[in-house]
Amino acid sequence: MEKLERSNRELARLFVEMFQPLGGDHITCVFNNENLADVARKQWANDLSAECSVSAIDRKRRKSGGIGKKGKKKKAKGFAAVMADAVEDDGSSGPFKLRDGTEVAIFVSPGPKELIAIERICNEVGMGTCVILLNARLSTLDKFASDDARNLFMEEFEPVWNLSAAPQEDAPSCLINRSYPNDWLIARKPKVGTPKTIKTQSTKFSAEDCRQAYESIEVSDIERQGERLAENFASWLK
């Protein structure tokens, strides 16, 4: 977890540096909680290339556990209501808001809970603020708070860079990649050598797209021989 947090923080710093021409007063880097935000503030304090406002969606300080009276049993709520309560109930400070004058808002590795607040922020700021989701991993989410939220994050947001495994049941050993403004591509990773592009298209590959692309592969005799050699070599090392 620590390595992942460090990786997210370093990527966020690079994006903050990239937008420095706007001025640090117009850049806000948002972490999921105050613990993560505090680390970034301390590490970036004397870094002129990382000037920005650092904040957190969840600003409540963690309290240590203790023995106390049992609270009243809470009424069961749906997924969206539970997530919204977790984000918006932030004590006397009120719900999370971006600093006035923010032109670029960078949200670092947001999860389902944070996306509730981000959806609201997007509706508030409109097209006046560039909202960036870093390492959001949206494709791994099982559900969104609403159909509107799913449409916002999966359709309206533009994937700038993506590298992920294709559905392995449909396209074994294949990867999906996109580097804006280029098209999406699916590539097969042979046992020997670099990945080879199978197909490119302007829209993201669905599971069916991946299956059809995989079925269209023509593997040369040389590639087959190379893969057999790699398999034999691997078996010798066992």
**Are residues 138 and 95 part of one domain?**
yes
Q: Is residue 192 within 8 Å of 231, Cβ to Cβ?
A: no
**Are residues 19 and 107 part of one domain?**
yes
Q: List the strands of the sheet with 174-179, edge to edge.
A: 161-165, 174-179, 184-188, 196-201
Q: Is residue 190 within 8 Å of 226, Cβ to Cβ?
A: yes
Global pTM exceeds 0.85 = no
- Among 157, 192, 209, identify where a domain stops: 157
CA-based angle 96:97:100, to the nearest 5? 160
pLDDT in tens, 137-166: 887 787 888 889 998 998 889 888 888 899
Q: Say which residues have a Cβ less than 8 Å from residue 148's Cβ, sequence separation at least 6.
A: 119
State residue 17 phi and psi, 5-degree precision: -60, -40
**Are residues 204 and 152 part of one domain?**
no
Number of separate domains in the chain: 2
CA within 13 Å, CB half, 188:
19
pLDDT in tens, 57-86: 997 755 544 444 444 555 555 545 555 555
Q: Is 13 part of a structural domain of the chain?
A: yes
Would you give the distance in Å from CA 226 to the centre of its chain? 36
**Are residues 100 and 55 part of one domain?**
yes
**Are residues 187 and 90 part of one domain?**
no
Q: Range of 231's domain?
A: 160-238
Question: CATH no. for residue 112?
Answer: 3.40.50
